């Protein structure tokens, strides 16, 4: 599974400097809408020009496992009830000078309980952390527990790209937001702005 630089409140900037990971979940109200209802929406992307390249659709544990049978088994055993994903892309005149994210994916897993979601969250973050060259980062307060990772790559024209994966749990939901853009033109703060916009719909 795998945003737009701009003004932020001091509170959000400070939030990005801390950590909200929890060692164990506490009982809370269950979120019962279909997973697709909690996905990030097109109008929340904060930049003009995004179009859907994958409309919101259901996915199963095997698809979420992205070829990792251990992860797929962990998600299944964690009480996964349903999951959905959507992806958007923004064309830019020149990749080498672009700012903000150009490729965004939003994924939500709805689990049978808070404890089950905690286990699914742990399995997903372990999987992402284990990717070669991946760098783990803190997110600041986001949901009940949260984690971020970043990894670089190079586009066909030689432009260096950066990809951020933000994973968080709210009650029995686990959400994953992936934002990719030009290195130097897009940062973790951009991904967190979008993650917070998505998380607001989980309250």
- The predicted pLDDT at position 3 comes to 35
Give me the domain span that covers residue 64: 47-183+190-200
Q: Which residues pair with 186 in a beta bridge?
A: 183
pLDDT tens digits along 185-197: 999 999 999 999 9
Whether pLDDT at 99 is above 80: yes
Domain assignment present for 179 = yes
Q: Which residues pair with 96 in a beta bridge?
A: none
Spatial neighbors of 96 by CB under 8 A, at least 6 apart, are 157, 158, 159, 182
- CATH number assigned to the domain comprising residue 96: 3.40.1000.70
Domain assignment present for 29 = no
Q: How far is CA 124 from the centre of its chain?
A: 11
Q: What mean pLDDT, rounded, does the chain reach?
A: 86
Domain assignment present for 123 = yes
pLDDT tens digits along 6-19: 333 323 332 333 33
**Residue 87 pLDDT level (bands cut at 50, 70, 90):** very high
Domain assignment present for 93 = yes
What average pLDDT does range 62-72 have in this prediction? 84
Domain assignment present for 176 = yes
**Residue 26 pLDDT level (bands cut at 50, 70, 90):** low
Spatial neighbors of 63 by CB under 8 A, at least 6 apart, are none
- The predicted pLDDT at position 28 comes to 62
Whether pLDDT at 36 is above 70: yes
For 63-97, give the DSSP string. HHTTT-HHHHHHHHHTTEEEEEEEEEEE--S-GGG
- The predicted pLDDT at position 189 comes to 95
- The predicted pLDDT at position 62 comes to 85
Residue of higher predicted confidence among 26 and 188: 188
Domains contained in the chain, number:
1
The token duo for 50 is: 């995004």
Picking from 98, 190, 181, the residue whose alpha carbon sits closest to that of residue 148 is 190
Domain assignment present for 1 = no
pLDDT tens digits along 128-151: 999 999 999 999 999 999 999 999
- Give the DSSP H/E element, type plus range, for residue 123: helix 114-129
- The predicted pLDDT at position 5 comes to 34
Domain assignment present for 116 = yes
What average pLDDT does range 66-75 have in this prediction? 85
Contact by Cβ (8 Å): 120, 167: no
Whether pLDDT at 154 is above 60: yes
pTM for the model: 0.84
Domain assignment present for 41 = no
- The predicted pLDDT at position 54 comes to 96
């Amino acid at each position: 599974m795998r945003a737009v630089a701009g003004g932020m409140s001091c509170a959000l900037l400070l939030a990005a400097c801390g950590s909200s990971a929890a060692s164990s979940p506490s009982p809370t109200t269950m979120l019962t809408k279909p997973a697709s209802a909690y996905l990030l929406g097109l109008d929340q992307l904060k930049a003009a020009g995004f179009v859907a390249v994958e409309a919101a659709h259901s996915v199963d544990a095997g698809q979420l496992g992205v070829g990792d049978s251990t992860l797929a088994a962990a998600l299944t055993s964690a009480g996964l009830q349903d999951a959905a994903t959507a992806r958007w892309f923004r064309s830019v005149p020149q990749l080498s000078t672009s700012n903000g994210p150009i490729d965004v994916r939003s994924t939500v897993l709805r689990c049978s309980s808070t404890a089950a979601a905690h286990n699914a969250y742990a399995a997903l973050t372990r999987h992402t952390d284990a990717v070669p060259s991946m760098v783990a980062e803190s997110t600041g307060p986001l949901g009940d527990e949260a984690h971020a990772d970043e990894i670089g790559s190079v586009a066909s024209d030689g432009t260096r790209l950066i990809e951020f994966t933000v994973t968080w749990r709210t009650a029995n939901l686990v959400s994953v937001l992936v934002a990719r853009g030009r290195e130097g033109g897009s940062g973790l703060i951009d991904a967190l702005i979008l993650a917070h916009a998505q998380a607001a719909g989980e309250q």
